[in-house]
Amino acid sequence: MAKVLVVEDEADVRDLLTLHLKREGYQVSAYEDAEEALVSFERSEAAREPFDLIILDWMLPKMSGLDLCKTLRTKMSTTIPIMLLTARADTMDKVLGLEIGADDYLTKPFEIREFVARVRALMRRATPTARETAKTQLSFGPFRADIAAKQMFLNEVEIALTPNEFKILTTLMQKPGTTFERRYLIKLIQGPGVAVVDRTIDTSILGLRKKLGKDADWVETVRGFGYRFRGEK
Ligand code: CA
């Protein structure tokens, strides 16, 4: 079942969107607060059960929908389709919204039928097969990961990784060339009741590099920030 994240502070609008999205067959997680939504987003990414669509209201009490959109696109490097909702009809805002990485933009008040049609269009663009494959198979350079089977292959030879090494490598592989902050990676491998310190990341990266041998340079250190997977072959 496809998952939709909804962030809208007006309860009646939030309920209406949730109702219609559920009718369309989506699993809905709705929040009134951008910060709570961000935590939910991070949790879904770490659990490898990513959202398929994000719907953001522009005007929110603390962190704005626009700031959340920016954070999701830059810090979180997500490519999940994002729809912005706003009460402003200003074209300048529309341009700003699209520049910041929203895929679609809907001005309030809107007809619920139009909302549903836009949702369908966004979901069609990200085809189900592509989405499903992306969740289970991942390849780049000499690497191939089977997410479901928790197997990693280097030049089609399986390499035995620890759960942390596997999580880190598959995360980096999803966005070659993108630096992932240490803080993000720590959160990623943090399980309930497990204390993860900075050193845990270093140890995992060290172990990972050892196992990759001459291909270790695919995992790059970005001093002061974190780690990234080499972008080019
Ligand atoms: Ca609002």
- Please indicate, yes or no, whether residues 153 and 138 belong to a single structural domain of this protein: yes
Local structure of 124: helix, strand or coil = helix
Token pair, residue 135, equals 């969740």
- Distance, CA of 33 to CA of 208 (rounded, Å): 38
User: Which among 102, 23, 29 has a CA at the least distance from the CA of 68?
Assistant: 102
- Please indicate, yes or no, whether residues 101 and 171 belong to a single structural domain of this protein: no
- 183 alpha carbon to ligand 1 midpoint, in Å? 30
- Please indicate, yes or no, whether residues 120 and 147 belong to a single structural domain of this protein: no
Residue 192 belongs to domain spanning: 130-229
**pLDDT digits 0-9 by tens, 75-85:** 887 888 999 99
- 25 alpha carbon to ligand 1 midpoint, in Å? 25
Give how many domains the chain has, as a whole number. 2
**pLDDT digits 0-9 by tens, 126-184:** 655 545 555 678 888 899 998 878 899 999 999 999 988 998 999 899 888 989 888 88
- 81 alpha carbon to ligand 1 midpoint, in Å? 20
pTM: predicted TM-score of the whole model, two decimal places: 0.58
Q: What values do phi and psi take at 160, rounded to 5?
A: -85, 115
